[in-house]
Chains A and B, each alone.
With several copies, the nearest count.
Chain A
């Protein structure tokens, strides 16, 4: 069976050029970057070249990049790192209601540790209320953490606006750019952020690698203690093959971003139009234009996401849903709740996230499959009414 992968916000296949770049670092140039001999120096060189590559891509200096094990670790390090190191200045943190669990769980943990966190609301499109955010700033606010683009609904946040009042008030600003990297421009100065999280496996790099950008002069508490790796900010033998792969993925994304984004945007709009035109009671979730070029999030009334997902999977199509039934917590997506969707509406949401290699014919196939599956499930639904509304 043909398999169509449209869940690129969950993870992406590693580009074969990335694998090629990594391979020598497994068996051949396998040294430990801390070793003084030639094997080690080879590794150290690869590490620093990779750091340069990643730094260049986001407009940073190499010494502002800390390699981590992924986006989650980067988020943890940014938020706890700033919180612990600046707790004498204040213990108040501001974030949004639609952050990734890596940010929200970290904030919840800090609340238990005596920090106070304000969760700023978003509007029905998922855009943060910057006025509310500004009003929530206090004298003891030390950190604002707002994601660049949302992983479920693709909404892009006005980070550079937020940066203005963060700067005025001398508050550190962190953004989770895990989903935006490689899809839209990510530049630390244009965004005006002090900390920025990115992850390799979302941009066709290997899993288990990420980075945190830390603007020079931002005081940060180390979380991983050990050897003096990453300028004492993150201990652990550096994952050279992974880091080289990440850097290659970043380089490829930089080269291709204009073409890829255009391609994905085209497919995205095609899919949205097709679905909207062929299925009644289907609604686009998230902002119509301020959204990632690869994000489609649509909800279908009367039916539930997991069963759609399973039927699509049987047709070889991989997507994701905000339905509670598909989550370990059995709660509907906190993002969909935050934008004001009622639980019964959240249950029927599908997230379709495109990749650079998706094809127009795949869009046609998926749209067709959706018509069929939505029809089938609505026919089975006790709430669809007598008139399962298929145009």
Chain B
């Protein structure tokens, strides 16, 4: 069903966990739908220095979470905001059609974390 790359990210997910002192946290999805992701980011000088995730969901949900952390780390915030759901799926070599929507929330999660970061920055200002 899933290709090898997806299975690799699913079975050896990169950057699992929480960041205790995260600069931003994105929460997307909900357990009712079967997919929920928390994305934690650390930002320094406008660059994502660390990205971690916690995910409740199917194989695709976990693999896309893992993949987005790999894609995002080292990117500027602006670059990170341009990452689309499709980019994540492509980077994984494709997802089953039926999984393209519900489980492919990782990009949304990252964007939500960045928004959270920006909101916090604004408050600090």
- A36 and B1 contact, CB distance less than 8 A: yes
Q: Which of A304, A314, A342 contacts B56 (CB 8 A)?
A: A304
| B64: interface (CB < 8 Å) | no
Q: Identify whether the interface residues of B are mostly helix, strand, loop, or mixed.
A: mixed
- A325 and B36 contact, CB distance less than 8 A: no
Q: Quick one: closest B residue to A301, CB to CB?
A: B31
Using a Cβ–Cβ cut-off of 8 Å, how many residues does chain A contribute to the interface with B? 28
Q: Quick one: closest A residue to B32, CB to CB?
A: A343
Which residues of chain B come closer than 8 Å to A342, judged between CB atoms? Answer: 32
A347–B1 alpha-carbon span in the complex (Å): 19
A102 to chain B, nearest CB (A): 22
| B19: interface (CB < 8 Å) | no
Using a Cβ–Cβ cut-off of 8 Å, how many residues does chain B contribute to the interface with A? 29
Which of B35, B57, B61, B98 has the most CB atoms of chain A within a 10 A radius of its CB?
A: B57
| A178: interface (CB < 8 Å) | no
Q: Which of B9-17, B43-51, B75-83, B117-125 contacts A (4 or more CB under 8 A)?
A: B9-17
Within A276-315, the residues touching B (CB, 8 Å) are 302-307, 310-311, 314
Q: Which of A303, A343, A382 contacts B38 (CB 8 A)?
A: A382
A328–B99 alpha-carbon span in the complex (Å): 10
Which residues of chain A come closer than 8 Å to B61, judged between CB atoms? Answer: 304, 307, 325
| B37: interface (CB < 8 Å) | yes
Which residues of chain A come closer than 8 Å to B16, judged between CB atoms? Answer: 379-380
- A304 and B57 contact, CB distance less than 8 A: yes
Q: Which of A328, A347, A384 contacts B34 (CB 8 A)?
A: A347
| A330: interface (CB < 8 Å) | yes
B81 to chain A, nearest CB (A): 22
Which residues of chain A come closer than 8 Å to B1, judged between CB atoms? Answer: 36, 41
Within A369-391, the residues touching B (CB, 8 Å) are 379-384
- B31 and A343 contact, CB distance less than 8 A: yes
Which residues of chain A come closer than 8 Å to B38, judged between CB atoms? Answer: 382
| B73: interface (CB < 8 Å) | no
Which residues of chain A come closer than 8 Å to B62, judged between CB atoms? Answer: 307, 380
| B71: interface (CB < 8 Å) | no
A61–B57 alpha-carbon span in the complex (Å): 35
A62–B111 alpha-carbon span in the complex (Å): 40
Q: Which of B13, B31, B98 contacts A383 (CB 8 A)?
A: B31
Which of B1, B16, B34, B62 has the most CB atoms of chain A within a 10 A radius of its CB?
A: B34
A323–B33 alpha-carbon span in the complex (Å): 10
- A307 and B36 contact, CB distance less than 8 A: no
A342–B33 alpha-carbon span in the complex (Å): 11
| A324: interface (CB < 8 Å) | yes
- B11 and A304 contact, CB distance less than 8 A: no
Which residues of chain B come closer than 8 Å to A311, judged between CB atoms? Answer: 11
- B36 and A326 contact, CB distance less than 8 A: no
- B56 and A303 contact, CB distance less than 8 A: yes
A380–B57 alpha-carbon span in the complex (Å): 10
| B55: interface (CB < 8 Å) | yes
In the A-B complex, the 3 residue pairs with the closest CB atoms: A325-B58, A344-B31, A306-B58
Where the two chains meet, the residues of A that have a C-beta atom closer than 8 Å to any C-beta of B are 36, 41, 302-307, 310-311, 314, 323-326, 328, 330, 332, 342-344, 347, 379-384
